[in-house]
């Protein structure tokens, strides 16, 4: 069982190599959580080095289920596939439904089925990279499992983390799930076309998010109508260009 979130955690075997007493006290839980996150951080550093040496801009997408992140990702891939090398890692507990949607764009994708686990971890991402053609000097998209809690705790080695919040979810989500917003580099407010029909204050949501991460950039977007899509693509391309400039091109390396 994952010590951090209580999920099934089939992918966490590597993080439990230490011996512990089998009591049920809080101290043991803290030790297990520290072991888990420490091991994940080591794998994240390995992933980050692979990305650095291959000039890859890695983006981790985090959101609740149903926020529209797969729809947005498909539109993004369609818009950029002719100019930027890209690949996708898809995280879901079951099925390859999202991976099948990605494949229609012609972009390489690797599905990770996490089973009872509610998030991707750096170890699993590292294994997925072994089955993907690396997008050298391109973009790796990592679509995390739909969840605003546990995915926020696990560094995957990404260069940027984007949290997506649909306007149907309520502006109080930054207060309820602070870690997701505190660790984000961009806040995407999705399904903007539904704003006339829901009780959602963009200003208040952004204010709550800024209390956690001052200066966090917000972007109002609708993948359905295209509102905000140009600004989103501009943000992506800027990040890609910065990543290429900051990564000295070395001979690409294997995973």
CATH number, domain containing residue 176: 3.40.50.300
63 in any annotated domain: yes
pLDDT of residue 3: 43
58 in any annotated domain: yes
Q: How far apart are CA 2 and CA 107, in angstroms?
A: 32
| Confidence class for position 19, pLDDT limits 50, 70, 90 | very low
pLDDT of residue 132: 94
For residue 23, pLDDT beyond 50:
no
231 in any annotated domain: yes
| Confidence class for position 169, pLDDT limits 50, 70, 90 | very high
Cα–Cα separations (whole angstroms), residue 145 to 30, 132, 158, 190: 24, 19, 15, 17
Q: How many domains does the chain have?
A: 1
Question: Within a 10 A sphere around the Cβ of 69, how many other Cβ atoms?
Answer: 25
pLDDT of residue 10: 44
| Confidence class for position 27, pLDDT limits 50, 70, 90 | low
Residues 6 or more apart whose CB falls under 8 angstroms from that of 209 comprise 174, 181, 184, 187, 216, 218
7 in any annotated domain: no
- Compute the mean pLDDT over every residue in the chain, rounded to the nearest whole number: 87
17 in any annotated domain: no
Residues 6 or more apart whose CB falls under 8 angstroms from that of 205 comprise 165, 171, 172, 173, 174, 189, 218
pLDDT of residue 18: 31
DSSP E strand stretches across 182-249:
186-190, 217-220
5 in any annotated domain: no
8 in any annotated domain: no
Q: Which domain holds residue 60?
A: 26-246
Residues 6 or more apart whose CB falls under 8 angstroms from that of 58 comprise 47, 51, 139, 140, 142, 156, 157, 158, 159, 160
3 in any annotated domain: no
User: What digits encode the pLDDT tens for the residues 61-110?
Assistant: 999 999 999 999 999 999 999 999 999 999 987 788 899 999 999 999 99
Q: DSSP code of 206?
A: H
Token digits of residue 124 = 């699993």
pLDDT of residue 244: 83
């Amino acid at each position: 069982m994952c010590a951090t979130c209580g999920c099934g955690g089939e992918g966490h075997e590597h993080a439990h190599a230490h011996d512990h007493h089998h009591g049920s006290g809080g101290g043991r839980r803290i030790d297990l959580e520290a072991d888990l996150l420490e091991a994940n951080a080591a794998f994240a550093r390995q992933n980050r080095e692979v990305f650095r040496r291959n000039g890859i801009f890695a983006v981790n997408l985090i959101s609740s289920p149903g926020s529209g992140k797969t729809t947005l990702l498909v539109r993004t891939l369609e818009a950029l596939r002719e100019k930027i090398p890209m690949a996708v890692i898809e995280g879901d507990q079951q099925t390859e439904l999202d991976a099948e949607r990605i494949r229609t764009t012609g972009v390489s994708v690797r599905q990770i089925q996490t089973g009872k686990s509610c998030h991707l971890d750096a170890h699993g991402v590292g294994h997925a990279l072994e089955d993907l053609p690396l997008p050298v000097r391109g973009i790796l998209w990592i679509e995390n499992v739909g969840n605003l809690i546990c995915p926020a705790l696990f560094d995957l080695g990404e260069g940027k983390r984007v949290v997506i919040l649909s306007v149907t979810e309520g502006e109080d989500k930054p207060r309820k799930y602070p870690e997701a917003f505190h660790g984000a580099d961009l806040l995407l407010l999705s399904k903007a076309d539904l704003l006339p029909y829901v009780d959602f204050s963009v200003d208040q949501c952004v204010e709550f998010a800024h209390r956690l991460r001052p200066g966090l950039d917000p972007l109002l977007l609708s993948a359905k109508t295209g509102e905000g899509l140009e600004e989103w693509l501009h943000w992506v391309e800027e990040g890609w260009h910065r990543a290429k400039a900051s990564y000295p091109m070395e001979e690409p390396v294997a995973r």
